[in-house]
A and B are shown apart, each in its own frame.
Chain A
Amino acid sequence: MQASAYQFEALSESMLLIRVGSTIDAGCNARVHALTDRIDAAAVPGLIELVPSYASLGVRYDVLYWAGQGHTAFEAIVGVLQLLLQESRFQQDRVALASARQIEIPVCYGGAQGVDLDAVARACDMDAEAVIRCHSEARYSVAMLGFAPGFPYLIGLDPRLHLARRGEPRLQVPAGSVAIGGAQTGIYPRALPGGWHLIGTTPQRLFDPDASKPCLLAPGDQVRFQRISEAQFAAMTMPPR
């Protein structure tokens, strides 16, 4: 693979983007994660963090470490990354896909826990039961986290459930809401504004700043939704902290 396959964009004096593509696409996202693993493994000095997203990879670096005579820090780190990405025994697709973490997330669909389920069913010309099956039987991968701590953008949604966002976003979507929007599905870690359709709720906490591992999910994780009943949901719901 040629390094010229990637474009480098400066986001700030200490952050750049490596562009892999420009669409929401599982193959493209897998390449982003492969790139992340590759750079992670190289333990590049003066590199602070990697931020994978759908189709690009954010690289935050120490500008003081990389700045030098006659070149900018941006030029220096781009040079190093280009060299790294040219050594191309690394495969484009994620080698470690088979070893990705598998996470099951319990979801109570419909009713008070999924207020938009019936409307989604009508819009998709399906019955509610079919929407639930469609959503809970698919395998998803965490393309990226963003928007709020622990908020996963999941790809793998059945095309039959691809719907435009709500005309009017809600000012507050309840914590734990499982929602769909466009080709994506996601889970609100806490009450946040949102324009996606709410089809269920998980009792699981996705973000807890006081926990030793604050986030349930990481980029690249494989996710399945496990349907639970209203009674199971009530039993699993922890009192709010």
Chain B
Amino acid sequence: MTLQVLKPGLLTTLQDRGRHGLARFGIGASGAMDRPCFELANTLVGNACGMAALEITLLGPVVRFSEDALVALTGAAIAARVEHAAGSFDLPLWRPVFLRAGSVLRMAGMARGVRSYLAVAGGLRSAGWMESASVDLHAGIGRALVAGDELEYDSGHAPDGLRDESRPWASWSLNPAPWFALEPRPIRLVAGSHYQALDAGAQRALFESEFSVSAGCNRVGMRLSGPRLQLAGPLELISEPVTMGTVQLPPAGEPIILMCEHPSTGGYPRIARVAAVDLPLLAQQRPGAVLRFERIDGGTAEHLLIHQHQRLQELCAEIRRRLP
């Protein structure tokens, strides 16, 4: 059973939760950029969390399923149409959908957001690297899909409830609002190790000004343009571990937020860190998006993250109860 890539889309990669424990070798985690949307796609098709799924960027691929498949699309609002001799339909997001053998799933542009996740029941198989299927383009691990690629999956058993040929999808769907909220709200930041080294104006500007996401933002990082942030004085730093969400300040004064393909170490001042609870929101911001930042403390950031995790676990448990 194979998923055949007819058109690869702009940037489509296989991702899971990433590879962990290898940063001491300079190998970062990579993994899905919008982790809750990735987990929900898997859960909607009955997969154990963390199985490999497709991360789709801005313009979706066109893929063909050689056999029956149970799929789910989550994340950015992507246009998706299923074509089959027996009938074509627009694929609804945020719910399990049954595709018959030979279906072509034509994914196109996104009305909002940057990244969608396509999960297939049984998971998409990959030999992977270092115990993870996650592609890490920046690290030279794997590559984006190209036309002609084939990924194997287990044939989706046809859940009885989804056999209706006119409506082969679950009668219920998730409310995307908690997981894909794009109404403007500030991204929460915790002051970093070198926040105090910013001059007074920069300390204020970080939390009072608007910044926009620069062109060229990718899975490695997002550069922000806005008021140039300056240090109060020169700072001699050496390379140290960094992590996803670290906000670095290169000498040009435009902060960079590190995302999931970031190098494992960096030598720029760490002026702040994005609260992990808001990293999924950040992963859905396009170039040109205007961001504001709200300051919270580390304890609050941790509390919010744990709360988000619990809500996600509860929702996943509810989905599992409903799956046929």
Contacts and interface: CB of A to CB of B under 8 A. Distances in A.
Contacts of B284: none
A13 interface: yes
Interface size class of A (residues with CB under 8 A): 35 or more
Interface in B113-142: 129-130, 139-142
B23 A49 contact: yes
A63 interface: yes
B277 to A, nearest CB: 8
Interface of B: 20-27, 129-130, 139-142, 190, 193, 236-246, 263-266, 270, 273, 275-276, 298-299, 301-303, 305-306, 309
Interface in A158-206: 190
Contacts of A51: 23-24, 241, 264-265
Contacts of B242: 11
B265 A146 contact: yes
Nearest to B140: A190
A48 interface: yes
A106 interface: no
A214 B28 CA distance: 13
Contacts of A63: 302, 305-306
Interface stretch (A17-25, A110-118, A120-128): A17-25
Contacts of B237: 22
14 contacts: A9-B193, A11-B246, A14-B243, A49-B23, A60-B20, A67-B306, A73-B302, A147-B26, A147-B263, A149-B26, A149-B139, A153-B239, A207-B26, A207-B140
Contact of A17 (B26, B139, B241): B241
Given A49-B24, A218-B24, A219-B24, A147 B276 contact: no
B128 to A, nearest CB: 10
Given A53-B241, A146-B264, A74 B302 contact: yes
A14 B23 CA distance: 14
A58 B240 contact: yes
* A-B complex: 9 closest residue pairs judged by Cβ atoms: A146-B265, A58-B241, A145-B26, A51-B241, A215-B25, A49-B21, A209-B129, A51-B23, A149-B27
Contacts of A17: 193, 240-241
A151 B241 contact: no
Contacts of B239: 53-54, 144, 146-147, 153
A218 B193 contact: no
Given A145-B25, A146-B266, A209-B140, 9 more contacts: A11-B242, A12-B273, A49-B20, A55-B238, A72-B302, A146-B239, A146-B264, A148-B263, A214-B25
Contacts of B301: 13
A12 B129 contact: no
A64 B27 contact: no
A147 B265 contact: yes
B240 A60 contact: no
Nearest to B28: A149
A91 to B, nearest CB: 21
Contact of A56 (B27, B241, B264, B273): B241
A149 B24 contact: no
B270 A11 contact: yes
A55 B275 CA distance: 26
B76 to A, nearest CB: 25
A197 B303 CA distance: 47
Contacts of A44: none
A151 B25 CA distance: 8
Contacts of A9: 193
